[in-house]
Amino acid sequence: MFDHEELQEKLGYRFRDPQLLKLALTHPSVAHEQGASTQTNQRLEFLGDAVLQLVLTRELYCKYPAYEEGPLTKARAKLVNRRTLAEYGRKVGIGKALIVSRGEELHGGRERPSALADAFEALLGAVFLDGGFDAASTVILQQFASAFGTLSVIPMLENPKGELQELLQARSTEAPSYRVVSTSGPDHDRVFECTVHHGGVELARGRGKSKKTAESAAAMAALARLREEQKSETPPEAAPDAAS
């Protein structure tokens, strides 16, 4: 029986239909060797890619409510690329389980990054067909859990205004506001100065060649100030009792 116990354990899912697992691990080179009628994992890869994108998009949408489309798209791209998908495939042990042609075997096809990435997506597509969307979502979020941990530091999303808003939301529902307080320089080389306010208080100022850049600079300055204040407000650890 085609089961691959170790792979299923590392994937975090046990297939009800072992043939779906087998298909997900069947490299396209097999069709070239055995004939065009042989089924390979390419269709499952197509399906798995769509499922993966949807699950990660929904998770980012829910996890980071302060961010707009651009930053979320960048975060998703950081989570999913051919190199990272190959690493996930390697982690669950796809290489030794992959079904390849003799020629592909001789040329190291089992460990080829493209083959590992494609088979990993095919596995996700197979999980979706075998167990449904919830099962696929559980597998994906388990596999990507550590990667989501790296997204807790939001500057990689290049959206200081969004990060500032998220930080301030912990204090009140009021959003920060921005004001242009001055412009200088000739028309072809303007410099804008903006302030950012919250609760009627000016948090910081920033300068830039455009209003948007100046607002981002102000937001970054406000973030630095607020984080410094948070550090100073953290109570020191209690000293040990000298009498003990």
Domain containing residue 198? 159-233
Write the pLDDT tens digit of every residue in 52-87: 999 999 998 888 776 667 778 878 888 888 888 999
Considering its fold, how many domains does the chain have in total?
A: 2
In a domain, residue 77? The reply is yes
Query: In this predicted model, what pLDDT tens digit does every residue of 177-219 receive, in sequence order?
Result: 999 999 998 888 888 999 999 989 999 998 888 898 889 888 8
Q: What is the CATH number of the domain that holds 114?
A: 1.10.1520.10
Query: Considering the domain boundaries, does residue 241 fall inside one?
Result: no
Give the tens place of pLDDT for each residue, 15-27: 999 999 999 999 9
Is the pTM higher than 0.75? The answer reads no
Q: Are residues 148 and 176 in the same domain?
A: no
Which is nearest to 113 in space by CA: 151, 80, 84? 84
Mean pLDDT of 163-185: 89
Same-domain check for residues 178 and 111:
no
Which of the residues are catalytic? 49, 121
Is there a single domain that holds both residue 165 and residue 224?
yes
Per-position DSSP letters for 144-213, written without gaps between them? THHHHHHTTSGGGG--HHHHHHHHHHTT-SPPPEEEEEEEES-GGG-EEEEEEEETTEEEEEEEESSHHH
